[in-house]
Each structure stands twice: as structure tokens, then as C-alpha cells.
Amino acid sequence: MTSLNQDKKFPEGMKPLGKKKFKFSCHPGVSCYMLCCRNVDMLLYPYDILRLKNRIGMRSDEFIDRFVRITQGNNPFFPSLAMQMNSKNCCPFLGDEGCLVYEDRPAVCRTYPLERAVDRTPQKGQPQEFYFLTQHDYCKGHEEEKEWTVKEWLRDQNLMYYNAMADVWAEMDTLFSQNPWAGEGAAGPKQRMAFMVCYNIDGFRDYVNEHSMLDHFKIPGSRKRIIAGDDEALLNFGFDWLKFILADMPTLQPKR
């Protein structure tokens, strides 16, 4: 996902689709089938990790060790994660007949052939999202006859919830890009803690339980119960906690 700058310049040569239809279809009959799951540089967001590790029934720390590489994305003050290709230079979740984790595939796999950009210019009120059509040279899906509006594509790919989580993540990423580590530098205790919250949700759950963290804040019992059994709710709590400790934001109320 791209964040647009203040004067809302769209990427060179790209125009938002708006309500215009686009042609696309991806199915086992296209000659390029599964080509885009090989040798791909694919960033993974916190929600992607959470969905994937739950899909395959693995702890997040083990998932990161086995399937993820740490990389330097656009944020100079916080590492990004990317899918580690296997020894055949394929996504590790590519099976003989297609994606093995289809219902839980990462946001980037769902969004293609669209690209999403969000204008967060505060004076414009609510953030505004734009979608662009993007095309890999080898992708034959664009030669198919099936037509979509952006709205139809988002619904078909179940992208609404992924996008909502991406927007919450974008707020965190913006916070991290302001170097909130207070002189600790990269890989200091605060940054390591933030890494755990964002990417290693099972490690964070252990930490929350060991330190009875939920009892330190005024949190309704109903939210506590949801957090206790739901990784997404825990991730949202973790984001609130990071905003509270790193930026003094009133996202949580400590008990006196």
C-alpha cells in the first residue's frame, strides 16, 4: 500500500481507476498460471503473518524463523518482513495445483492487479483511497474478458478487512518512521518490543500473560475476554499499547 504525499501526486503515469471497469481473470487455464508465485519480492504486514501462521497452525516466532526474511523497506527506523522464497525460488505456500493458503493469502496476493494508495492529508477530513491498475509483463490475466469494478474486486477478494487492518498498520508505520526509540537506536529494547507486538503475536501473548498486562489498564471485561482468545484483538490492543508508551497517546487508560 502506498501513502500519498500532501499534494496527492499519483505515481508517474498512473491514473486512479475510479468507477472505470477493468478486464482480468486468473484461473488454472491461463498460460502464466502460478508464475507470479515464483521469485517474488513480497512484503508481509502484521495481519498477513497472523492469518498465515494461524492457517498452518504454527506459532508466529516459528513462522518467522521458517518463512520470513527481515528486510529494509521504506521505513528507515523499523524493519520490514518479506516472504522467504524456498530452494526452488517459489513462495513456500505454492503447491502443485496453486496456492495452499488461498483463503488466508497475504494482502498483496489479493490486491493484484490493483494497487491501493491512501491520501491521509488531514485537512481533507477522512482518508481517501485510490486504486490503480497494475500489470506484470508476463501476466495473461489482463487478456481475459471478465470485467470488474474496483468495488466488485474488493468484495471478491475479501479485501475490506485486510485494508482496514492495513490502515491501522499504516498509522503504526508512520509512528515508527518518526524514530520514537528515544536514542536507543535500532534493535534497542523498545524497538524489539515493537517488533514482537507487530510480528510475533504469540510471543506478545506470552508477555501479556506473564505480566498480567491487561490488568494494568482500564479495559472493559468484554474486550479482555475477546483479547484472550483472538489474535486480531490482541494485535489491536498491542498497537494501542505501543501508541501509549511510544507517543503518549491516550489510547489506553492506566489504573491508578
Return residues touching ligand SF4 (CB under 6 A).
26, 30, 32-37, 40, 91, 93-94, 99, 101, 105-106, 109, 112, 136, 138-141
Give the list of residues 6+ apart from residue 106 with CB closer than 8 angstroms, or none. 42, 44, 45, 48, 51, 52, 83
Gap between the Cα atoms of 239 and 246, Å rounded? 10
User: What is the smallest separation between the CB atom of 111 and ligand SF4, expressed in angstroms?
Assistant: 11
User: What is the smallest separation between the CB atom of 216 and ligand SF4, expressed in angstroms?
Assistant: 38
User: What is the smallest separation between the CB atom of 72 and ligand SF4, expressed in angstroms?
Assistant: 21
Quick one: 146 or 151, whose CB is closer to ligand SF4? 146
Quick one: 7 or 41, whose CB is closer to ligand SF4? 41
Query: Phi and psi dihedrals of 74, rounded to 5?
Result: -80, -20
Quick one: 93 or 148, whose CB is closer to ligand SF4? 93
Quick one: 10 or 33, whose CB is closer to ligand SF4? 33
User: What is the smallest separation between the CB atom of 95 and ligand SF4, expressed in angstroms?
Assistant: 8
